[in-house]
Amino acid sequence: MHYNAVCVSPVSPHNPDSGSDSGSHSSAPQTLLNFRGTIDIYPSAQAIFYAPSDLCGTGGMRKELIRAVPSWFNGPARYNTVFVETAPDENGMLALDAARIRLFFSLEFRGTVYPCALVHWYQRIDDVPDDTTGMWVVQPEVDENDRPLAAILHLDTILRASHLIPIFGTTTVPRGLSPAHSLDIFRAFYVNKFVDHHAFEIAF
């Protein structure tokens, strides 16, 4: 697909000034660039990372598929959530932010190919995990017009997939509600650090 557009330059892990900090994504510095060319779109990306506490792969290496498609095998949409490294000097969830992938794409600008992801941010509700569950609580981050706060990230800033558990509250969950729609319906989520050993080690 061909575009003639003004877009936000991708956040790079090697250029911290180009990205968001976990305190306020909306106030992050942004650079505009004029781009005319081809954007290649991808339905998924693979995250490969070192997880020695998980008994999988050779030498503790783990691989997982992160999806961003309107329909997966003729079924519902899959727009997975991820951990994004935003504050490398911090520890645990203070070093990470949760985001939902809306699109994987790449573009070439001035001879450099940028693998990117368009994401919608989640923000932490508090500065500490929930007392009862020990899990962090996040909610979709929106702007002053209640629209999802979006960003374009370099793929190198994405650590791995995350797993969010809806906070159900006291209301009745509709019987026909599909898991594919839970990220769109619920307004707050637990960051599930118990989904595997590696998540437990990083999402504390």
**Mean pLDDT in the chain?**
85
Residue, of 145 and 9, whose pLDDT is higher: 145
Range of the domain at 45: 2-202
Residue, of 1 and 159, whose pLDDT is higher: 159
pLDDT at 92: 96
Indicate whether 183 pLDDT > 50: yes
| Total domains present in the chain | 1
**What distance in Å separates the CA atoms of residue 75 and residue 96, rounded to the nearest whole number?**
31
Percent of the chain with pLDDT over 90: 61
Closest CA to 185 of 199, 195, 174: 174
**What distance in Å separates the CA atoms of residue 163 and residue 66, rounded to the nearest whole number?**
11
Indicate whether 78 pLDDT > 60: yes
**What distance in Å separates the CA atoms of residue 37 and residue 54, rounded to the nearest whole number?**
42
**What distance in Å separates the CA atoms of residue 52 and residue 61, rounded to the nearest whole number?**
7
For residue 202, give the H/E element and its range: helix 197-202
Q: Is 46 left (phi over 0), alpha (psi -120 to 50) or beta?
A: beta
pLDDT at 17: 46
- Phi and psi torsions of 192, nearest 5°: -75, 100
List pLDDT tens digits, range 30-44: 666 677 788 999 999
- Phi and psi torsions of 171, nearest 5°: -85, 160
List pLDDT tens digits, range 7-21: 444 554 444 444 444
**In this structure, what token pair is assigned to residue 64?**
């997982």
3-state secondary structure of 23: coil
